Structure 1
Amino acid sequence: MEKAGRRFLATDAYLELKQFLGRAASLKTRLSDGSEATRTGLVRSASKLGSDGGFARYRITLVPWVWLLSRGRHNRVFQDKTVIQIAEAVFGDYADVAAWQWSDEVSGFLADTRPRSYCVQYGESDYTFISRLLAEEGLGWCVEEDDQAPAGHRLRLFADSRRFPEDILSQSANGGRGLRYHRADSQEAQDAIVAFGEQRRLTSSVLSAISYDYKAKKTVSLNVPGSQSIGGEHAPVLESYDDPGLYAWANAGEAERYGRLAMEARETRQRTWLARSTVRSLRPGTAFDLICLPIDPQQTSFEHRYNATDITHVGINNLSGDAIAAVAQRLGEGLASQDDAH
């Protein structure tokens, strides 16, 4: 997720806000090597914050086209359709603005899954429905720029986060390969990670479930232990039990597959990292190499490649100090509102 609530100055205090809604707009950020990073979305909301002396301040909130799925709600049934076919049908309802791409590994990842004999969307938004199906199949998504897309960006659906493309500054030769753990300084050739810390959470370490196959008249159960150590020697072994209902799986192999995917989802939330940086190019769905990080000399292994999953960017235009002061005197500081981040 990438938050994109922006405030802008204009010399016209009478812009009609209605004209902005639903339009594609891009925010361009100048990077350390002189190139630009573009973030494109649809205008979800626009508001005028005030005006004085020929200046006006507006707030514009951009969202990816997939946000529109949260506004659509349907009750429908899909019979003998794969998850890809169901997703394609739902996305097709938004064809005027939608663009998406399945990563190369998805077809192989889903090769052994069977079509869903009877899949129901009831009382759910299209966004909740699709998010649920993708999560059940172990698929994720992120947003990336696409000049050929109707709204200037597309949804990329993936099965393996280890194949994320590398951040453009991480792969840049300007200042060396990778992102440095370093102080922030205007004289540095490249942006840097200025704070980096590990987070761990206690989660369930065993996943159990049982379903009844009314056709074969037998039960199908699963018991999936985690693949990672959760906590220290005093950490409790926590079991998560689920009742998926009748005929949830065709056989024990299918039960094991979905149980393993559910356990992996829990494990990804067990260990994360939180960082603060000056890296202007980072966005969810990309990876970066972290270098120059001081580590415990007793530590035998250390990860250098990390995935960006949730980012909040904060920045201002590179105006002169006098210009910033004049605007603040006339219009105030323009404090952020909760709407900026949602």
Structure 2
Amino acid sequence: MPLDAFAQLEIEGMEGPLRVVQLSGREAICAPASFDVVLDAFGGDTNTVSAAPESLITKPAKISWTLLDGGERVFEGLVDAVEARDRGYNVRIVQTLALLADTKDYRVFLDQDAVEITREMFSEAGVELDVRVSRSLDKRAQCVQAFESNLDFVRRILAEEGISFFAPFGSRDKVVLVDGPSGFEDAPVGPLPVRERAGLDTGESVYGARLRKKMVPQRARLQDYDFENPGLDLTAETKVDGDALEVYEYPGQYRNPASGSALVKLRMEELRARRKVLTAATSCRALSPGHVVELEGPEGLQGRWLLLAVEHRASDRVAEGNDRYEAFFEAVPIDAPFRPARTPAPRVGGIQTATVTGPGGAEIHPDKLARTKVLLRWDRRRAEDDTSSAWTRVVYPPTTGGFFLPRVGWETVVSFHASSADEPLVLGRLYNGVAQPPNGLPGEKIVTAFGSSTTPGGGSANVVSMNDTAGAEGLAFKASRDYNERTENDKVTVITADDTWTVGATRKVIVGEVHDVGVAGAQSSTVGGNRTVNVNANMYIQAASESVMVGAARIFDIGGDSTTSCATLTRMVGAAKAETAIEHAKRQTTGAATVMVGGSCNMLAGANYGVNVMGARSEMVAAAKTIKASKFAQEVKGALVETLASRKVTAGGDRVEDFAATARYSIGGSAKLQGSNVVVKATGQIKIKAGGATVTITPGSITIDGEFKGSVDAQDDGDENYE
């Protein structure tokens, strides 16, 4: 019977008989199906169907053909291409999934696994997803679609996880994801016999079978590196049937040993997936990729086979008055896991630029490993914030450990690890029209600088700058606020000319052991306010001469002894001088000591006050001398000599003079003893001498010796004795 008697094509919006005269199509695992149909749009000599080719593009279409058991095989899709010809049209119908091959994008996915990414991509294309994946997939910190179509991107990341996909029998916009034999479907036919060639048998069979076997690797080894755990050995390996042929891959795209063990098994299954491939032709009209068909025939061919691809061919043999349908398929044994061959990720060559990002209001946004986040220049979907990328490692040129954290908004140069856009690396910073160099150029071209701006808000910076101007070379350090310096051992500073320190507030120097300052010339210190020197042990000052000038008060507070040793000591106090000793005060002068006080000199002792002079002591008072004491005692081991112009002693009460030995008063002028009652008492005798006369008084007598003149009218030139 004619072909159009069992094969029909329907296109939305196109009415009338569409006579199918030829049909061919290809369906395959991990690829969208497509069919080419040749239509005769004329019935007899009359033009019964007419449509502009461009009006058919993207129209829904359905191809169907009758099965031998009376059932129907249906393929639904969209019109992808139309070619008008003399008597009709050549039409290409494709699966909706094929539209993903017509789009190319640059896109970043964060913290999603391959299935989650695929679901998002297919959903946007209107494709339903049936997931039959048994293995738990690792989430990808960052997965980038770059320089590839949407279909190629999805196919690549699924193959990396060992996942196949196919369109189930009779579906329109549905795709099944499979990672094991149990996810595929049995063909809707019974066992098919394998024959040598097509014969007159009207039943369905397989013929022209060819079994291809090839040598495949027997050992697989993967290696990777985890920078967060650099000492971890991530080697993963597996082998089957010996180890003569080995495949080694780096990087293996995993970060822990468990993932490596799972992936190396997938890689081995991928390498061995096509070690045995069956190709054959069949008259069965119901086969589709993803079907598992059972064959009956010679040894080596019987068993269950997974169909990987099916090509359909049907033509109208008008001369013979019947049709001819034939299909060709490719299959592998179902007892071994099938893994699709991977396609390499696009190589992102060279370098690109990106913008450093962070959450709102943040000027610096690193993690504990000094990584940052960036917005890739071609990313048109993600916001310029903390969600723009995964954490991105930064190259820090000082190999000894120094670093400059990138600031949010900086334009940076990025490269990519292993040429994959999944792992960008920040190499450095670029200035642009907004973020210009800190020094005015080209005027400041002789200045090289390293610095960092104050954050948040800016306004100042910490800067190390070098001026290379000949004759005015300089190195400058600028701290926008605090400046801290630490030396773990010795520090030596050599200055061949002047050294100037200007401190706006307080300067504090703490020395753990010895502080030694050597000045070859003069040293001058000017203190505008107070100066305090605290010495916990001894303080020693050695100088050829020393002058201390104090404009106001000078106070010495000494917890222990104070000793001044000098040849000559001269102190001049312009006003008052006060010395307070809490316990003892001692001065020792090996030579002479002179204290000159221009005004008053007051000495105040809280308890006793003693003056001990090893030799003679001389006291010279130009005016009056006053001694006030509750009691006054003088102890002189030798003679006490007083030389006075005049002397007056006034006692508010009794006055007692007690002499252990002889007491003698020698008066150059007159002496007068006056009182209401005067008592002169001696235990032995009293002698009074005046001129040539002597009066001797004993307990028993009074004797006057010498010339005596009394107040009576009598005169005696001899000695008188009264008993």
Band of TM-score, shorter chain = 0.7 to 0.9
Q: Deviations over 1:236-280 (max 9, x none)?
A: 9222221127xx322211111111111111111221111111111
Matches within 5 A, 1:305-320: 305-317=304-316
Instruction: Give the one of 226, 240, 247 matched to 2:247.
Output: 240
8 Å Cα contact 1:192-1:279 kept in structure 2 = yes
Is the CA contact 1:70–1:125 (under 8 Å) kept in the aligned structure 2? yes
Structure-1 separation of matches of 2:319 and 2:188: 28
Partner SS state of residue 214, structure 1: coil
Cα gap change, 1:145/1:319 in structure 2, threshold over 3 Å: closer, same or farther?
A: farther
Q: Does the 8 A contact of 1:40 with 1:145 survive in 2?
A: no
Contact 1:228–1:267 (8 Å) recurs in 2: no
Report Cα offsets for 1:266-308 as digits up to 9, x if no partner.
11122111111111111111111111x123xxxxx87510111
Amino acid paired to 2:211:
E
Give the counterpart of 1:116 among 122, 125, 140: 140
Structure-2 separation of matches of 1:110 and 1:322: 53
Structure 2 unmatched ranges of 5 or more: 1-27, 324-723
CA contact (8 A) 1:3 1:311 kept: no
Equivalent residue number for residue 53 of structure 2: 17
Rounded Cα–Cα distance in structure 2 between residues aligned with 1:289 and 1:40: 26
Superposition deviation, residue 93 in structure 1:
2.1
Give the corresponding residue for 1:223.
237
The residue that corresponds to 1:327 in the other structure is: none
| Separation in structure 2 between the aligned mates of residue 319 and residue 86 of structure 1, nearest angstrom | 50
The Cα shift of 1:130 comes to 0.6
Q: Answer yes or no: is 1:204 the counterpart of 2:217.
A: yes
1:46 has 2:75 as partner: no
Q: Secondary structure at the match of 1:265?
A: helix
Q: 1:42 to 1:239 in 2, by over 3 A?
A: same
Aligned pair count reads 285
Q: Which of 294, 301, 308 is matched with 2:298 structurally?
A: 294
CA distance in 2, matches of 1:37, 1:228: 42
CA contact (8 A) 1:179 1:191 kept: yes
1:155 aligns with 2:179: no
The counterpart of 1:8, out of the listed 23, 33, 39, is 39
- Choose from 264, 268, 292 the match for 1:259: 264
Distance 1:323 1:30 in 2: 14
In structure 1, how many angstroms separate the alpha carbons of the residues matched to 2:302 and 2:112? 40
Residues 178-210 of structure 1, C-alpha deviations (whole Å, 9 max, x = no match)? 11123545653x311022221112232222221
What's 2:73 paired with?
A: 37
5+ residue gaps in structure 1? 171-177, 230-235, 296-300, 325-342
Q: Specify whether residues 39 and 244 from structure 1 end up closer, same or farther in structure 2 by C-alpha distance, changes over 3 A only.
A: same
Q: 1:89 aligns with which of 117, 120, 124?
A: 120
Deviation at 1:228, TM superposition (A): 5.4
Is 1:135–2:159 an aligned residue pair? yes
CA gap 1:93/1:3 in 2 versus in 1, 3 angstroms: closer
CA contact (8 A) 2:41 2:50 kept: no
Inter-partner Cα distance in structure 2 for 1:223 and 1:165: 32
In structure 2, the CA distance between the partners of 1:221 and 1:187, relative to structure 1 (3 Å rule), is: closer
Give yes or no for contact 1:70–1:126 (8 Å, CA) kept in 2: yes
| Per-residue CA distance 1:91-142 (angstroms, 9 max, x = gap) | 12212xx222223xx1xx233x331112121222111111111111111101
Amino acid at match of 1:72: T
Check conservation: 2:225, 2:255, Cα contact below 8 A: no
Within the candidate set 126, 129, 132, 1:100 is matched to 129
1:294, 1:81 → 2: CA distance? 48
Higher helix proportion, which one?
A: 1
- 1:70 matches 2:94: no
C-alpha distance in 1, partners of 2:176/2:221? 32
- In structure 1, C-alpha distance between the alignment counterparts of 2:255 and 2:309, rounded to whole Å: 36
The correspondence for 1:28, drawn from 54, 58, 64, is 64
Task: Give aligned-pair identity as a percent.
Answer: 21
Choose 1 or 2 for highest CA Rg: 2
Asked whether the equivalents of residues 207 and 240 of structure 1 are also in contact (C-alpha less than 8 Å), the reply is: yes
Instruction: Quickly say closer, same or farther: Cα 1:222–1:88, change in 2 above 3 A.
Output: same
Q: Secondary structure at the match of 2:217?
A: coil
Q: What pairs with 1:168-187 in structure 2 (closer than 5 Å)?
A: 168-170=188-190, 178-182=191-195, 184-185=198-199
Shift of the 272–294 alpha-carbon distance from structure 1 to 2, 3 Å rule, reads: same
What SS does structure 2 have at the residue aligned with 1:220? coil
Once the two structures are TM-superposed, the CA of residue 82 in structure 1 deviates from its matched residue by 2.1
Q: Using a 3 Å threshold, how does the CA distance of structure 1 residues 3 and 193 change in structure 2: closer, same or farther?
A: farther
Q: Read off the aligned partner of 2:259 and give its amino acid letter.
A: E
Deviation, 1:161, is: 3.0
Given the superposition, is the C-alpha separation of residues 251 and 191 from structure 1 closer, same or farther in structure 2, using an over 3 Å criterion? same
Paired residue secondary structure (1:204): coil
Distance 1:211 1:19, change over 3 A: same
Q: Which aligned runs of 4 or more in structure 1 are off by greater than 6 angstroms?
A: none
Alpha-carbon deviation of 1:320?
A: 6.3
Residue number in structure 1 paired with 2:276: 271
Give the SS at the match of 2:140.
coil
Q: Distance in 1 between matches of 2:322 and 2:306?
A: 38
Change (3 A) 1:273 1:146: closer
Residue 154 to residue 318, structure 1, CA distance change in 2 (3 Å): farther
Structure 1 135/154 Cα, relative in aligned 2: closer, same or farther at 3 Å? same
Please tell me the residue identity of whatever aligns with 1:277. T
Letter in 2 for 1:81: Q
Cα distance, 1:302–1:311 mapped onto 2, change above 3 Å:
closer
